[in-house]
Structure 1
Amino acid sequence: MVSLRTPARGGLERGGILRHTTKLVALAATVALVVAGCAKKEEPGGAAASDELCADKSGAGPKIGLAYDIGGRGDKSFNDLAAAGVKKALDDLDATCEEAEAAQEEPDSAKEERLRTLAEAGFNPIIGVGFVYTEEVVKVAKEYPDVKFAVVDGFGEGPNVTNLVFSVEQGSFLVGVAAGLKTKTKKVGFIGGVRGPIIDPFAAGYKAGVAAVDPAITVDMKWLSDKGDAKAFANPAGGKTAATALYDAGSDVVFHASGLSGGGLFDVAATKPDGTWAIGVDADQYQTATPEQQKRILTSSLKKVDVAVFDYVKAFKDGTTKAGFDLYDIKRDGVGYSTSGGHLDDVSSKIDEYKAKLVSGELTAPSKL
């Protein structure tokens, strides 16, 4: 979910067209992951992450270079979704791949060299996962004009650079509707990593969705940090503290957009009685939760990075990639909400009515608080 360098949101105007980005605001940040040594991480579904994804080099299709955001495969969210899109390309397009992961607190030059190494090795296309790669991709893409580059959540420019971007406020609107329909206390919560153009659209969409159901419902928001750092996005303890405060203050549904910090929300929710809910983000987080957590995960706001990555690789194979912004909104099924666990069975038809209005344009989800 989280990318570590933040562009000014004003340069990304949606409404069918993402306009020219004229000013970029960099927010220096590093998300530090607490991992024991070099232990294997889990992929969605519980599989251990290893070199298995790119082990088979026999395919005759696209040769994909995949540069992960910090944490790499096994984060149960953003990076894992990118890996899932590549996996589908291996299966359906006879592609091969090579993975490369960002290190904690590395300089920007390390990202450049990672991208150059993939380009020099003949990988094409090359996909950077997250805003953090944007400026480095733009620079390296100029050096390799015959290589196609994509950046998930990117904001770069260049004839061989594609930005895969998402209307996350729309998926967040739908989980806000879900929260509004399920709350009994008429008070719901939100945990965000940090205020700003990355997370504000999640909060704004959620708040609007709740209000669409009942304007009298209160939305209480907690922010984990004043900058995009580990405290914001790799802080399960902070997420636990925020969740406890929200539940104790009367919220019975809490949505997070806080990266790995959201694990703290799920831990707290698992201890709560029936009728208390948590909402995940990006991936269907029900699928990677413990059985006790699953009982309390109402839904997740989906950001289909896997779909965007696969589509981009397919377009590369077909020779139809386009530079600029490739927007995944609700009309393209690029965002949405999950129904795993059956906790929304009683209200899903109502949520889908709101979804249809977003698709038709009758309703618009805001991206600013």
Structure 2
Amino acid sequence: MRRISSLTRIAVGVASLALAATACGGTSKDSDSDGGDSSKSGKGLAIAYDIGGKGDQSFNDAAYAGLEKAKAEFKYDTQDIEPTDGETDADKEQRLASLAKQGYNPVIGVGFAYGPAMEAVASKYPDTTFGIVDSVVDGKNVASLVFAEQEASYLAGVAAAKATKSNTVGFVGGVDIPLIHKFEAGFKQGVADTNPGVKVLSQYLTQTAEEGGFSSPDKGKAAAEGQIEKKADVVYQAAGLSGQGVIEAAAKAKVWAIGVDSDQYQQEALASYKDHILTSALKDVGGAVYALAKSVKDGKPLTGVQTFDLKVNGVGLADTNPKMAEISGLSDAVAKAKAGIIDGTIKVKTE
């Protein structure tokens, strides 16, 4: 299988996709009037959402933005499908297989939970390119779209250490799994390297995704409230839909929240809280989705591990909140840290 250690940048830049404010729903199928010519069937990109579905203002909505960009540019049919409560790997297999049978290409599973299903399905449809976000699946026709989340989180830690007045900040992870450990590790290192006197409070909402760690704003809100009671005045969340509860709690307490994956300061659904969203650790899921779609459209499908890091603007830190510039030394510290990560003088931990 062709392996690519770092993606040649054909995707849009981090945070440049305009994310539509969407409500959670069922299957959404879009068709352009002229049909397109992306394949013999006229069908192109299809995505299957992770837990929380469309409308999370974060991870899944970023993927949807990539789909919308591909649809607009390539003029073909697209489809996006919501997860169901309590679904099994067999349910995911059926979903991926159904999309491939219908002629969609590529077919992308948004989230590590699609790993087992993709391993089972991809080899059965060798003419379809599959993609998976946040996991590595071996297969001749599979592109594993992975990110250096720890690097973006390091920058978030730098910002938190500069913004805190209480010298206590918080981290709320959705589920206690290795992927989210990367967010926590980078954040803690960024804080410590910037100001070792700042204490980091960490909490995971659940041990498994099935318990709602990525889909329960009430759990996120309760966790953030507990950290704020312990004097945390900046709280960083890597919790999917649950992160909306973290942001709500921070806004209510008039402390800072740091968003994740998408630029949550710009999200219409979070507009009432935006004055308390300091920044967001960005992850260009939309760019990865678009990049894979474009490669298939161009007849040169990407396969293997596609790594999105700071060097290719695959991750980053949002700077859209003008209040960031008002915090002494914050912007300069973030810029210095970013340069250090890119040139290798700063090695960011993943655990």
Instruction: With the length of structure 1 as denominator, give the TM-score of the two structures.
Output: 0.83
> Aligned pair in 2 of structure 1 residues 211, 158: CA closer, same or farther (>3 Å)?
same
The structural deviation recorded for 1:116 is 1.6
Check the 8 A contact 2:22/2:54 in 1, yes or no: no
CA distance in 2 between counterparts of 1:263 and 1:345 reads 24
CA distance in 2 between counterparts of 1:48 and 1:199 reads 25
Q: Which residue of 1 aligns with 2:13?
A: none
1:134-171 Cα shifts (integer Å, max 9, x gaps): 22122211111111111111221111011000010000
> Aligned pair in 2 of structure 1 residues 248, 311: CA closer, same or farther (>3 Å)?
same
Q: Which residue of 2 aligns with 1:242?
A: 223
Check the 8 A contact 2:177/2:207 in 1, yes or no: no
Q: Which residue of 1 aligns with 2:10?
A: none
| Structure with the higher fraction of residues in helix conformation | 2
1:234-267 Cα shifts (integer Å, max 9, x gaps): 2222222221121111111110112222122112
How many residue pairs match? The answer is 327
SS at match of 2:213: helix
Q: Which residue of 1 aligns with 2:203?
A: 222
CA distance in 2 between counterparts of 1:126 and 1:247 reads 41
The structural deviation recorded for 1:299 is 0.6
Q: Which residue of 1 aligns with 2:303?
A: 323
Instruction: Return the match for 1:340 from 311, 320, 323.
Output: 320
Aligned: 1:55 with 2:34: no
Q: Which residue of 1 aligns with 2:96?
A: 115
Residue ranges of structure 1 left out of the alignment (5+ in a row): 1-15, 18-42
Q: State how 1:274-289 maps to structure 2 within 5 Å.
A: 276-288=255-267, 289=269
1:197-230 Cα shifts (integer Å, max 9, x gaps): 0211000000001111111111111222233333
- The one-letter code sitting in structure 2 at the alignment partner of 1:285 is Q
Q: Percent identity?
A: 40
The structural deviation recorded for 1:183 is 0.9
CA distance in 2 between counterparts of 1:102 and 1:292 reads 28
The structural deviation recorded for 1:45 is 4.3
SS at match of 1:198: helix
Instruction: Return the match for 1:312 from 282, 286, 292.
Output: 292
CA RMSD of superposed structures (Å): 2.1
SS at match of 2:231: coil
Check the 8 A contact 1:77/1:282 in 2, yes or no: yes
SS at match of 2:346: coil
CA distance in 2 between counterparts of 1:47 and 1:181 reads 33
CA distance in 2 between counterparts of 1:188 and 1:154 reads 29
CA distance in 2 between counterparts of 1:53 and 1:99 reads 7
Check the 8 A contact 2:23/2:54 in 1, yes or no: no
> Aligned pair in 2 of structure 1 residues 95, 348: CA closer, same or farther (>3 Å)?
farther
Q: Which residue of 2 aligns with 1:74?
A: 55
- The one-letter code sitting in structure 2 at the alignment partner of 1:336 is G
CA distance in 1 between counterparts of 2:56 and 2:76 reads 23
Aligned: 1:356 with 2:339: yes
Q: Which deviates more, 326-335 or 111-120?
A: 111-120
CA distance in 2 between counterparts of 1:241 and 1:113 reads 36
SS at match of 1:224: strand
CA distance in 2 between counterparts of 1:103 and 1:184 reads 42
The structural deviation recorded for 1:48 is 4.9
SS at match of 1:242: helix
Q: State how 1:1-369 maps to structure 2 within 5 Å.
A: 44-48=19-23, 54-56=30-32, 58-61=35-38, 63-273=44-254, 276-288=255-267, 289-346=269-326, 347-368=330-351
The structural deviation recorded for 1:177 is 0.4
Check the 8 A contact 1:53/1:87 in 2, yes or no: no
CA distance in 1 between counterparts of 2:60 and 2:110 reads 7
Residue ranges of structure 2 left out of the alignment (5+ in a row): 7-17
Instruction: With the length of structure 2 as denominator, give the TM-score of the two structures.
Output: 0.87
CA distance in 2 between counterparts of 1:323 and 1:61 reads 18
- The one-letter code sitting in structure 1 at the alignment partner of 2:104 is F
CA distance in 2 between counterparts of 1:207 and 1:183 reads 14
> Aligned pair in 2 of structure 1 residues 46, 150: CA closer, same or farther (>3 Å)?
closer
1:71-115 Cα shifts (integer Å, max 9, x gaps): 332221111111111111112233321222221112222211211
> Aligned pair in 2 of structure 1 residues 95, 362: CA closer, same or farther (>3 Å)?
farther
